[in-house]
Amino acid sequence: MNAWDSFAIGAKQFLNNIVFQYVPKLIVATIVLVVGWKLINLLNKVLQRTLEQRRIDLSLQQFLHSLVDIVLKVLLVVTAMGVMGIEMTSFIALLGAAGVAIGMGLQGTLQNFAGGVIILILKPFRVGDYIEQGPYAGYVDSIQIFNTTLRTYDARKIIVPNTELATKSLVNHFNLPQRRVTIEVGLAYGMSVEKAKEVLLRVAAENPLVLHEPKAPFATLENFGESSLNMRLYAWTLPQNYWSTLYSLNEEIYNAFLNEGLEIPFNQMDVHIRDAEK
């Protein structure tokens, strides 16, 4: 037998043992992955539509969507591996042996998953709320299984681990139906406090963003400053209108005080120059 005959026999054995045995399985596994992936995406759409029709809380919708998507795709990959003839018993045993190491490595991830469950159960905030937690602040865009996405006023995205929001103190500005706007304004000594209160309440009454039920605006003389009488206006508005209400009231109060002859003082310094020769 010459070298060419040996090569031909070896090539034939390779085709018989490798190509013809594994290629069909690889093709079937690929079909399973492609079809299964599309079916999972279709199932996710059906699930999302069903949850929306049943008016399930948006935060829970996003969480369930992420959870179902990940679980089904992991099962799909395992199924494709089984189709290819990979021994799943050995594979599962290998995963079990590495389970402790993986668990320790994913400890933070598992804590984030538990944090997401706690958030959905206790509902300290929902999608659309404006929250603050430590250095993070923004509107809640989505609550995923491992993290929560916030959107800031200047259109930046902040991704916060769920454990941070589930285990630490946070401020939810949208948790109550109303939010109070507090405005401080200085009034010069000698000006009429009653007139100033009247102007403040009139400005609040004319502002369309200010609520008058169940709590009406309230104006008062808060304290005596070094160079001014410190007045305060308390007005209530919807949480989403807080900043618009604050800024509009500031501008309107300044213009109203100017028109009514009410002086808003500013800090002054008297400088005395002494002649050193005298």
- Do 220 and 231 meet the contact criterion of CB atoms below 8 Å apart? yes
Q: What is the CATH number of the domain that holds 134?
A: 2.30.30.60
Count of domains forming the chain: 3
Q: What is the mean pLDDT of residues 134-158?
A: 89
pLDDT digits (tens, 9 = 90+) for 48-97: 788 777 776 676 777 777 778 888 887 888 787 777 766 656 556 656 65
Q: How confident is the model at residue 109 (pLDDT cuts 50, 70, 90)?
A: confident
Give the residue from 126, 135, 127, 244 showing the smallest Cα distance to 181.
Answer: 244
The answer to the question of residue 48 being in a domain is yes
* Residue 275 in domain: no
The yes-or-no verdict on residue 189 having pLDDT over 80 is yes
Let me know if residue 213 belongs to a domain: yes
What is the token pair recorded at 258?
């100017």
- Check whether residue 187 and residue 152 sit in a common domain: no
- The secondary element (H helix, E strand) that includes residue 271 is none
The Cα 166–Cα 32 span in angstroms is: 39
Domain assignment of residue 134, given as a range:
111-172
In a domain, 55, yes or no: yes
